[in-house]
């Protein structure tokens, strides 16, 4: 079968596996995040309020994506451990459990969108641009299933080592969104609603390609057939133990943006949010290598842990960290040097030179927010891989929510350093938290080594 040739990948050499899993994923994640940049690019042509609204609603959109990534991480972790232990029947059963869980999560998000979206927008402090927020956010919440299922299915494809099938549909989604955005926003005169509608349609078309491989060509390694399904509450529990913390980590990442937006409004006003929104999108891109390498780390560390192979687990931790640092530092350097021309992309529509200049200044400062993130990211994703989702969550809360936001509030508000203090505090807290996170995963690595040596004896 087609995917049977790929399943040996995550079970082999960790460096080779991470390279083959991570680099295509970097490209697909880049194109997915480019959707936000493209949306911002075209929405900026409507007016500054529409762009600010996109900045407010984007964290909620990322929460939805995070829920899909969370379930995908839980499925990836459990299936990888079953694969490492050569429990293929249980792995197939876990695949069906993960799809069912995805549908349940989608229904919950749908209910939240129907009854609470207005309140969430007001809570975000976006009441002045509420109409624009609703125009983009309603369709995203109502049709959230088209974002969740592709992410979870891609995670399962990566677990079986089928990188192409995990990547190509997501890449096609991004390309389609780039094409459809200007058509729906301007040609069909749908405004900011058109940006959301284009994103939904593009994602749906991309997922149909996955459906073709699973149900028509039927050549995937894992089977999406209910004849393999035997309901086991323990499987749901094992997936949720990782997926709930993983999804919460994505929510925390979005919550950080919400808190930063609030602190920015307090110290510099709503207009600064628009500039920060542009800069933050590039900062998010700089995080993509860590995310892609981390996704690969979940699979490879999970297989290594399930097989009781400390040598591969140790190699995974070391290589993931070094690779993430090298790529992240390079990207941050490029963003620092070319900050102005990058942010000037948004001047094509808005013709607001002040917006471009301020965005470039924020970007040059905030690249330092990402420099040590690979240390913390390796810890978070490796803990997810071994099934310790709540340890991963604890480190993320410490790094992003407690330390980063505490220092941002301390410098910006308490010490009255203004918006510069908000930015500097966030940067300092993130870097301290990343170092602490890596220290924890390294201690876990040493404990795993001792455990394997005892079992060997």
Q: How far apart are CA 269 and CA 249, in angstroms?
A: 28
What local confidence, expressed as pLDDT, does residue 332 receive?
92
274 in Cβ contact with 51 (< 8 Å): yes
How many residues does the structure list for the chain?
A: 457
Query: Which positions ≥6 away from 47 have C-beta within 8 Å?
Result: none
Each residue of 2-14: pLDDT tens digit?
A: 445 555 555 668 8
Which DSSP helix (H) or strand (E) runs through 143?
Answer: none
Whole-prediction pTM: 0.75
Which DSSP helix (H) or strand (E) runs through 352?
Answer: none
What local confidence, expressed as pLDDT, does residue 1 receive?
42
Place of tokens 């407690």: 402
Output the CA angle 90-18-204, nearest 5 degrees: 65
Nearest to 229 by CA among 119, 94, 359: 94
294 in Cβ contact with 242 (< 8 Å): no
Each residue of 291-333: pLDDT tens digit?
A: 889 888 888 888 888 888 899 999 999 999 999 999 999 999 9
Own/partner contacts of 406-412, CB < 8 Å, gap of 24 or more, are 408/259, 408/260, 408/263, 409/263, 412/263, 412/266, 412/267
DSSP annotation of 6 reads T
Question: Could you give the number of structural domains in the chain?
Answer: 1
Structural domain of 428? 3-456
- Ordered mean pLDDT values, 10 residues apiece, the chain (457 residues): 53 80 77 70 80 80 83 86 83 92 94 91 83 91 94 88 84 87 92 91 93 90 84 87 78 82 88 84 83 85 86 93 93 92 68 81 92 91 87 89 93 93 94 95 93 76
Own/partner contacts of 268-276, CB < 8 Å, gap of 24 or more, are 268/418, 268/419, 270/52, 270/128, 271/48, 272/358, 272/419, 273/52, 273/55, 273/56, 274/48, 274/51, 274/52, 274/55, 274/355, 275/355, 275/358, 275/359, 275/362, 276/55, 276/359, 276/362
Place of tokens 């995974």: 316
What local confidence, expressed as pLDDT, does residue 351 receive?
61
Q: 349: buried, middle or exposed (CB in 10 Å: 19+, 13-18, 0-12)? A: middle
Structure tokens at 231: 């309901």
Q: How far apart are CA 12 and CA 33, in angstroms?
A: 30
What local confidence, expressed as pLDDT, does residue 203 receive?
92
Q: How far apart are CA 273 and CA 132, in angstroms?
A: 15
């Amino acid at each position: 079968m087609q995917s049977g040739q790929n399943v040996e990948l995550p079970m082999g050499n960790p460096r080779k596996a991470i390279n083959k899993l991570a680099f295509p994923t970097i490209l697909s994640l880049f194109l997915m995040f480019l959707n936000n940049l493209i949306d911002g690019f075209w929405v900026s042509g409507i007016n500054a309020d529409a762009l600010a609204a996109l900045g407010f609603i984007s964290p909620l959109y990322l929460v939805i994506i995070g829920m899909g990534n969370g379930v995908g991480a839980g499925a990836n972790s459990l299936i990888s451990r079953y694969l490492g232990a050569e429990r293929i029947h249980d792995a197939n059963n876990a695949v069906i459990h993960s799809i069912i869980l995805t549908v349940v999560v989608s229904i919950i998000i749908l209910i939240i969108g129907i009854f609470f979206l207005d309140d969430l927008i007001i809570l975000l402090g976006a009441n002045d641009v509420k109409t624009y927020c609703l125009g983009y956010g309603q369709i995203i919440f109502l049709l959230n299933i088209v974002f969740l299922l592709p992410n979870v299915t891609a995670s399962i494809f990566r677990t079986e080592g089928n990188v192409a099938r995990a990547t190509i549909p997501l890449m096609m989604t991004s390309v389609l969104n780039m094409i459809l955005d200007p058509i729906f926003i301007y040609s069909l005169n749908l405004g900011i609603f058109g940006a959301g509608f284009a994103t939904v349609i593009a994602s749906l078309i991309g997922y149909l390609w996955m459906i073709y491989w699973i149900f028509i060509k039927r050549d995937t390694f894992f089977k999406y057939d209910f004849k393999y399904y035997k309901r086991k509450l323990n499987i749901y529990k094992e997936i949720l133990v990782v997926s709930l913390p993983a999804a919460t980590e994505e929510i925390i990442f979005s919550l950080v943006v919400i808190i930063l937006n609030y602190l920015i409004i307090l110290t510099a006003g709503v207009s600064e949010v628009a500039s920060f929104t542009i800069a933050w999108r590039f900062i998010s891109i700089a995080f993509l290598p860590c995310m892609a390498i981390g996704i690969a780390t979940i699979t490879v560390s999970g297989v290594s842990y399930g097989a009781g192979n400390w040598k591969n687990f140790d190699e995974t931790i070391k290589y993931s960290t070094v690779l993430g640092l090298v790529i992240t530092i390079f990207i941050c350097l490029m963003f620092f040097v070319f900050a102005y021309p990058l942010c000037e992309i948004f001047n094509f529509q808005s013709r607001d030179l002040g917006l471009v200049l301020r965005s470039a200044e924020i970007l040059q400062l905030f690249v330092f927010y990402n420099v040590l993130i690979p240390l913390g990211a390796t810890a978070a994703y490796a803990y997810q891989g071994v099934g310790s989702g709540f340890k991963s969550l604890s480190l993320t809360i410490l790094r992003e929510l407690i330390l980063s936001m505490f220092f941002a509030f301390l410098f910006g508000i308490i010490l009255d350093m203004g918006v510069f203090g908000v930015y500097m505090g966030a940067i300092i807290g993130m870097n301290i938290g990343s170092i602490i996170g890596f220290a924890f995963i390294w201690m876990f690595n040493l404990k795993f080594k001792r455990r394997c040596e005892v079992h060997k004896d």
